[in-house]
Structure 1
Amino acid sequence: MNSDHTPPAGTGAALALSRIRTVLVGTQHPGNIGSAARALKTMGLTRLSLVAPQRFPHADAEAMAAGADDVLAAAQRHEALPEALADCRLVLGCTARSRRVQLQELSPREAAARMLAVAREGGEAALLFGRERTGLENEELQLCHAAVHIPANPEYGSLNLAAAVQVLAYELRLAMLSADGGTTGGAPVEEGPVDPPASHAQLEGLFEQLAQTLEDIDFHKGRAPESAMRKLRRLFLRGELDAREVRLLRGILADAQRMARIAREK
């Protein structure tokens, strides 16, 4: 079920959809995987990634795909979420309730516009959906740049996984159609930025080095480091760093770590 996917070059809205992946994390019922594949195909989306599904491949998934067998067959399977996001510039997590992880909240329409904009610049974007019963864990939401909240009935906001996928896929298609209509006959869209945006893996490497540096310089002074790191992650994610900026920051951190080692050796 794993297959390499290299989106073709270009900036058109329809083409940009090929740079947007839907990631299902820890899916419990295989029928929901098939239904999600069907929801994606009806809206012109083709990329599905599965992180540690409980039962897949499975006949129920194939039955519920109902003609979206190509999307299901091309689905990429991963054992861990960071692996599924390593090359992404933007990661949005769909969540139904507030968590301790404080993230910017986007509506489905805002999320679709933001993902399409990144994809049109040549960046990879991912939309995460969690387990049917518990959704995304706090640690998984920490890997996201922002959260997406579907404004369902507050008295009964329980959406089926595939239904939630359909809502976001529909908004992505609306955004694509709007963008195509807005650019027809206009000036050509410029290619992506000179400095490529930092990938998810590059940002996670920065955060790992930052956490270690703070330990090396005794920044926390006995306090729990989690709160500071959550705030720093949000700060840097809002900045939308490019790859060169990440390298610069990591160079600064490396010098700070070197000076901390020298101080300890004296």
Structure 2
Amino acid sequence: MQFDIVLVEPARPENVGAVARAMKTMGFTSLRIVASEAHSQPAAHWVAHGATDILTSAEVFTSLELALADVDLTIATTARSRARFHYCYTPQQLNEQLTERQQWLQRAAVVFGREDSGLTNQELALADLLTGVPMVADYPSLNLGQAVMIYCYQLAQLLPAVPPMVAEPEAGQLQALRQRAVRLLAELDVADDQKLSDWVHQRLGVLEQRDVVMLHRLLHDIEKKLSR
């Protein structure tokens, strides 16, 4: 599984340089930037020190949706509890979730929000999994570089070669299932049930491959029945 580190509107070049350095240290190479040119500033390169190749090869996108267009699994980081989002994993728990998925998903993105305000609820809604770092302090705060280092350190365990597989993973299985589920909710006239839609969206992200395959079969049968 390939990991992309995605930064949404980073403001401080020094933070982006620290991110590049953390990535390089732990073996990650793919950096994506949303709506910012901070990575191109001299201060970012000064702090990166030895990881400037990650900055120069970073991909820039105008929106988070575009940055995630070719990603199979999106993991969004959040420092606050959001009422609509009930399933949030620690970095260690995230590894447990991804261990099975690395055998059948090709690309995953870990998304980090703005230094001052994080990710919006709309941006969090694009994610398959939510994750946060538990902290003891009354006013917890990690700078961007520290947060990326924590996740790169934890996820580096998944970077070694994937065990042999019977077949190559089929790209887009999870995205296709999500799209099918959304269409089915609309056809059943329950798409406006926000609680149900949120539950479906959040739970699809924790499915294992065999569950995804079986749900594809089930939805195919339901679609076939409805079309008659």
TM-score (norm 2): 0.81
Match of 1:145 in 2: 128
Asked if 1 retains the 8 angstrom alpha-carbon contact of 2:13 and 2:41, the reply is yes
Aligned-pair Cα RMSD in Å: 3.1
Equivalent pairs counted in the alignment come to 226
Alpha-carbon separation, structure 2, partners of 1:201 and 1:60? 38
Separation in 2, partners of 1:200, 1:65: 35
The amino acid across from 1:226 in the alignment is Q
Instruction: Name the structure 2 match of 1:264.
Output: none
Q: Secondary structure at the match of 1:126?
A: strand
Aligned with 2:180: secondary structure? helix
Partner of 1:12: none
Question: Partner residue of 2:190?
Answer: 219
> Secondary structure of the equivalent of 1:156?
coil
Structure 1 CA distance for aligned equivalents of residues 62 and 166 of structure 2: 31
Matched residue, 1:191: 165
Q: Which has the higher contact order (CA 8 A, sep 6+)?
A: 2
Name the counterpart of 1:262: none
Q: 1:88 to 1:41 in 2, by over 3 A?
A: same
Change (3 A) 1:203 1:83: farther
Q: Does the CA contact (< 8 Å) of 1:105 and 1:147 recur in 2?
A: yes
For the pair 1:25 / 2:24, whether they are aligned, the reply is no
Counterpart residue number, 2:219: 249
**TM-score scaled by length of structure 1:** 0.71
Q: 1:46-89, CA deviations, whole angstroms, 9 ceiling, x for partnerless residues?
A: 11111222645322222221110111112111222222223333
8 Å CA contact 1:118–1:124 kept in 2: the answer is: no
After superposition, the C-alpha distances for 1:120-179 in whole angstroms (9 at most, x for unaligned) are 545211111111111111122122222212122232311101110011111123x248x7
Shift of 1:250: 6.3
- Structure 1 gaps of 5+ residues are 1-15, 181-187, 260-266
How many percent identity over aligned positions? 30
Q: Which residue does 1:5 correspond to in 2? A: none
| Residue range with higher mean Cα deviation, 242-251 or 49-58 | 242-251
Partner of residue 209, structure 1: 183
User: Structure 1's 84 and 44: CA in aligned 2 closer, same or farther, altered over 3 A?
Assistant: same
Following TM superposition, by how much is the alpha carbon of 1:117 offset from its aligned partner in structure 2, in angstroms?
Answer: 4.3
The one-letter code of the counterpart of 1:230 is D
- 8 Å contact 2:128–2:204 — kept in the other structure? no
Q: Paired residue for 1:45?
A: 28
